[in-house]
Amino acid sequence: MKEVLTQAESKMQKTISVLISEYMAIRAGRANPAVLDKIMVDYYGTPTAINQLAAVSVSEARMLTIQPWDASILRAIEKAIQTSELGINPQNDGKIIRLAFPQLTEERRREIAKEIAKMSEDSKIAIRSIRRDAIEKMKSMKKNVEISEDDLKQGEKKAQDLTDKYVKEIDGLFEKKQKEIMEI
C-alpha cells in the first residue's frame, strides 16, 4: 500500500512540475527566455531547441536577444519564431535577433488569465485522476487479501490528504501567476 501512495505522490509532483513549466512559458509582458522553450528550429534536418543553438538573454525588461553560435542558423531561428504561436516579430540585424515584447492590453491579460485557469484546472483533474487510480489499486489489493479493510480506509485517507495538498499547491501557483499577469 505504501508503494501505491509513493507512486501516486511522485506522479502528483510531476503534474506540479509540468504546470510550473507551462506557466513559465506564458508570455506575460516581460521578457522570459522560457517562452522560446517549445520553439524548435530545423538544424541540419534535426528539430533543435533555440537555447541549444544560441545564447538567449534578457537585455531589457521587455527585450530578449538571441545570439546564435553558428551565424548560418540565424535565418532558420527567425523563421521558427515567426511561424510559432508566440505572436512576436523578430528583428534580425545579421548577428543577433531581438524580440521586443509589447505591453499587454487589458483584454490580452484576461485571455491569459483564462488560459492559466484552464491549465490549473487540468492539473487538478490530473491530480484527482492519480488519486482515483491509487484508490483503485488499493481496493484491488484488499480484494486479493493483500491488505485489510482498515489499511484500505487508512490508504484512502492518505491518498485524499495528498490530493488536498497538491490541489492547494496548484491554487497557490495559479494565484501567484494570475497576480503577476494582472499587475504588469
For residue range 86-105, list pLDDT tens digits in order: 778 899 888 899 988 877 78
The pLDDT assigned to 105 comes to 80
* Better pLDDT: 27 or 13: 13
Point out which residues pair with 56 in neighbouring strands: 66
Global pTM value: 0.70
Q: Is the pLDDT of residue 122 over 90?
A: yes
Residue 163 — left, alpha, or beta (φ > 0 → left; ψ -120 to 50 → alpha)?
A: alpha
Q: Report pLDDT digits (tens) over 143-163.
A: 888 888 899 899 999 999 999
Q: Is the pLDDT of residue 29 over 70?
A: no
The pLDDT assigned to 14 comes to 96
pLDDT band for 127, please (50, 70, 90 cuts).
very high
Which residue ranges form the domains of the chain, and what is each CATH number?
2-24+105-183 (1.10.132.20), 33-100 (3.30.1360.40)
Residue 162 CB contacts under 8 Å (≥ 6 apart), including other chains: 5, 8, 9, 12, 131
Q: What's the whole-number mean pLDDT along residues 51-57?
A: 89
Q: Compute the distance between CA of residue 45 and CA of residue 41 in angstroms, rounded to an integer.
A: 9
Residue 126 CB contacts under 8 Å (≥ 6 apart), including other chains: 15
Query: Chain-wide mean pLDDT for the chain?
Result: 88
3-state secondary structure of 25: coil
Instruction: Give 154-179 as a DSSP string.
Output: HHHHHHHHHHHHHHHHHHHHHHHHHH
